[in-house]
Amino acid sequence: MRPSYVIFAAPYTEKSAGIKSLWKLAEAIQKTGRKAIVIQCEIVDGSFVACFDGKNFLKCDKDLIPRVLSGLGEHIVIHGENLDCEYFESLNVARYYLNKMGFLINKGQAREGEFKLAYHAPFCDDPDFVLTQFMGKIDLEQAEQMTIHDRFLNLTYVGKGWMYNAECPTIYQTVLIKRDWPETNEEYVTLLKATRFVLSYDSLTSVLMDSVLLGAVPVILNAAPFTKAEVSRICGPDFPLYFADEIDLREFDQQEFLQKRLAYISYCKNLRDSFDQNVIDMCSAMESFFKLQ
């Protein structure tokens, strides 16, 4: 009997790649023939709350989650890097490092014996498994066929950048895009398809990837909280990566960008197409780690 998987994730939103990746992982585990459920959870005013019945959120103490899950048989809990281990003490926990520990507002503590699952290898030391997902909102085949005409519109994006920059002014003669504007994914795609440069204070955001796929050049204004080398490793060798203090936008090499863009689309296709097998391998690695096979 294979173990079940219990994934603790914040309520689904299109606006967070991290949250989406947890929900997508649950679906992918189900496709392997294993049972996987999502328990919605949030941190509200410093309290960790979870919803076990699909209706009500309960404030968790260190006993509640093990007690609720006790009837489930053998299982593995997967949650993001920002949750604290005190709520999951006696459980088989795979901590999914969707960012570096402590880089977001909610800062969790890890413990010995957790399975270290990293979204990107640099997110934690010695990960037990690396599971990167293609989280793009764009059809890759369409992106590959897209003709990139001259563009003149430039955007500023702040995202999580406010946490690492004292000020994030909208760059002169650009338009600020936010988490809630443009409101719909279709509008967001339309805007990026008309954009030349996306100047981002957030160095780890799906906006950068979406920009490349839609033909807009991502320019990182500040690598913090990472180093430039870390950002480069996270993005991978095929990503057309530009730092504002290293390039002159007036003399930008568009041809080089377009070539790198096609290479990056190939990388994304590979990521997408190999995902199901990677999830099977991940489950095997976890089950072996917790000796549940």
Partner 1 sequence: MLATKQPKFTFIFCAAICNALASNGILSLIFLIRYLERIGHQCFISPIVREYPDEELLFTLDTSANSFFARTNWAGPHRSITGWAEWHNHLSKVAEAFGLKIILDPKILIQNGALVVYPERIIDNPLNAPKVIRYFGNRDGNLNGGKRVNQGPDDFILAHSRFVHPSARAYIFFPYIDEAFGESPIPWSSRALNVAYIGKGELYSKVVIPKNTVLITRKDPCSKSELAQLLKNSRFLFTFDSLTNLISESIFCGAIPVYMQFQPFSESEIDDIEVGPIPRANFADLIVEADGNYQFSDPSLRTPILDQMTRFRASFHEFQNSYGNSIQGFVDKIVAHWKL
Q: Which window, 36-44, 150-158, 205-213, 233-241, contacts partner 1 (CB under 8 A)?
A: 150-158
191 lines the binding site for partner 1 (CB under 8 A): yes
Q: Which window, 119-127, 169-177, 249-257, 259-267, contacts partner 1 (CB under 8 A)?
A: 169-177
139 lines the binding site for partner 1 (CB under 8 A): no
SS (H, E, C) 110-155: CCCCCEEEECCHHHCCCCCEECCCCCCCCCHHHHHHCCCCCCCEEE
In angstroms, give the least distance from the CB of 262 to partner 1: 18
Q: Find the binder of partner 1 among 61, 125, 186, 246 (CB under 8 A).
A: 186
254 lines the binding site for partner 1 (CB under 8 A): no
In angstroms, give the least distance from the CB of 51 to partner 1: 30
Q: Find the binder of partner 1 among 26, 66, 137, 182 (CB under 8 A).
A: 182
178 lines the binding site for partner 1 (CB under 8 A): yes
**DSSP result, 213-280:** HTTPEEEES--TTS-HHHHHHHH-TTS--EETTT--GGG--HHHHHHHHHHHHHHHHHHHHHHHHHHH
b/e map 57-73, b = 16+ CB within 10 Å: beebeeeebeebbeeee
Q: Find the binder of partner 1 among 45, 56, 126, 147 (CB under 8 A).
A: 147
b/e map 137-167, b = 16+ CB within 10 Å: bbebeebeebeeeebeebbbbbbbbeebeee
In angstroms, give the least distance from the CB of 181 to partner 1: 4
Binding site for partner 1 (CB under 8 A): 146-147, 149-154, 170, 173-176, 178, 181-184, 186-187, 190-191, 193-194
